[in-house]
Amino acid sequence: MKLKSSKFVINITVSGVSPIYRRTPDTKNLNPISMKTGRDIKFIIYQVLYIFVICVIALKGADINLEEVLDAKTVIPKSVADEMKRKIDSLLALGIKPELNWDESKIYSKEDVDKMLAGMEPIKMTNTFTGNFTEPQKVNDENRKEKEPPKTDKLATVQGIEFTQYTRPKVTNPYSEPLEIYGDGKLIVTIPSKSSATVPVNGESSFTFKVGDAKDTKSTKEKQSPKIDIQKVGPGGPDASLRSVQNAVGFRVTVISNYPGDLDVKIGGPVSVNQVKSNIFDVTLTLLGSENAFKNWSNGKEEPYKSSFTVSVKDKYNPKLNLSQIGVFTFGKW
């Protein structure tokens, strides 16, 4: 059968039916028999198409695109897909680009996908994915502290003092810990923090100052012997009278030492002593009080007459440094 219009012609051939009807745009007169036969042909065509559609639906499912319909057992549930999407979106928000390498030869079940979601952890973009996401390992602060060397307090810097032998210096401990002082390896004194103490220094060659684990060792200096300087400051000589000599200061004695407090100074003889400073002394002769006493005293003596005094200096801590010196007044008459 062939249908023809002004635009197209349709040929339809049905098995067992001869084409007995032809219509063209120019056909005007159709008899009833011919019209009935055309309706039968249309019915047969519709029946064939209907049966074809029913067969396709029965074999392939309701998807008319003729593609294979997925088995419901292998379809990922929407809740699982939504959960996977949520996790992937969260990783992308962190700047991490996840990638999954699916095995195309394997059919993943819902249980497989659930396991993948349960183990999905973020990883860095440079990592190679094997199907599971792994989160970049975060360094635990506690583990980091355990690996770091234990912090210790900074050792105090001890500044030792250069002691002089046979002295008694006073030392102040400015540190927050006790200060231990050793002389030639022997503990001499321990000074508490922010306290002071006198250190007995004798003949040690060195001293070590220790605070905690910090140490400083200093050698000692040798103590110099004191010196006595006797200067004549008043009248005297062969022509001087005893009265003039006794009426004025005759000598000034100066004891020279770096440690005058360690010395014991004594001036002996027929003199009076006035201590001007700790190491300076004025000496005045007080030999005789009258002319008769002078005559008795000078009887048998040769002129010029002399009267002496002695200056003795003793070191309190080292007897080897003791010394003495004599000063002499001279006069020729009463």
- What is the model's pLDDT at position 156? 47
**Domain assignment present for 151:** no
Residues 263 and 312 in one domain: yes
- What is the model's pLDDT at position 153? 41
Residue 232, strand partner residues: 251
**Domain assignment present for 201:** yes
Residues 245 and 323 in one domain: yes
- What is the model's pLDDT at position 54? 81
**Domain assignment present for 139:** no
Domain boundary pick from 15, 42, 60: 60
Residues 319 and 233 in one domain: yes
Residues 241 and 211 in one domain: no
Residues 208 and 259 in one domain: no
pLDDT at 152 over 60: no
* DSSP-derived secondary structure for 204-270: -SEEEEEETTEEEEEEPBPPPPPEEEEEE-S--STT-BHHHHHTS--EEEEEE-S-GGGEEEEEESS
Show the tokens assigned to 83.
């959960």
Rounded to two decimals, what is the model's pTM? 0.50
Least confident of 33-42, 109-118, 232-241: 109-118
Q: What are 43-79's pLDDT values in tens digits? A: 888 888 888 888 777 776 655 554 555 555 555 667 7
**Enclosing domain of residue 54:** 2-60
- What is the model's pLDDT at position 72? 58
pLDDT at 161 over 50: yes
**Domain assignment present for 113:** no
Least confident of 132-136, 166-170, 326-330: 132-136
Residues 215 and 292 in one domain: no
Q: Is 295 helix (H, G, I), strand (E, B) or coil?
A: helix
Characterize the bridge pairing of strands 2-4 and 22-23: parallel
Residues 186 and 248 in one domain: no
Q: Is 23 helix (H, G, I), strand (E, B) or coil?
A: strand
**Domain assignment present for 115:** no
Q: What are 193-207's pLDDT values in tens digits? A: 999 999 999 999 999
Q: What gap in Å lies between CA 304 and CA 291, rounded to an integer?
A: 16
Residues 312 and 252 in one domain: yes
Q: What mean pLDDT is reported for the chain?
A: 76
SS3 labels along 44-96: HHHHHHHHHHHHHHHHHCCCCCCCCCCCHHHCCCHHHHHHHHHHHHHHHHCCC
Residues 231 and 270 in one domain: yes
- What is the model's pLDDT at position 182? 95
Residues 177 and 233 in one domain: no
- What is the model's pLDDT at position 113? 63
Return the H-helix or E-strand segment holding 152. none
Residues 16 and 50 in one domain: yes
Show the tokens assigned to 179.
């200060």
Residues 259 and 325 in one domain: yes
DSSP conformational letter for 32:
H
What CATH number did the domain enclosing 297 receive? 2.60.40
**Domain assignment present for 271:** yes
Higher pLDDT, 106 or 311: 311
Domain boundary pick from 219, 242, 259: 219
**Domain assignment present for 183:** yes
pLDDT category, 97, cuts 50, 70, 90? low
Average pLDDT over residues 146-164: 59
pLDDT category, 321, cuts 50, 70, 90? very high
Domain boundary pick from 60, 82, 99: 60
- What is the model's pLDDT at position 100? 61
Average pLDDT over residues 302-328: 93
Let me know how many helices (H) and strands (E) the chain has, helices first.
6, 16
Number of domains in the chain: 3
**Domain assignment present for 153:** no
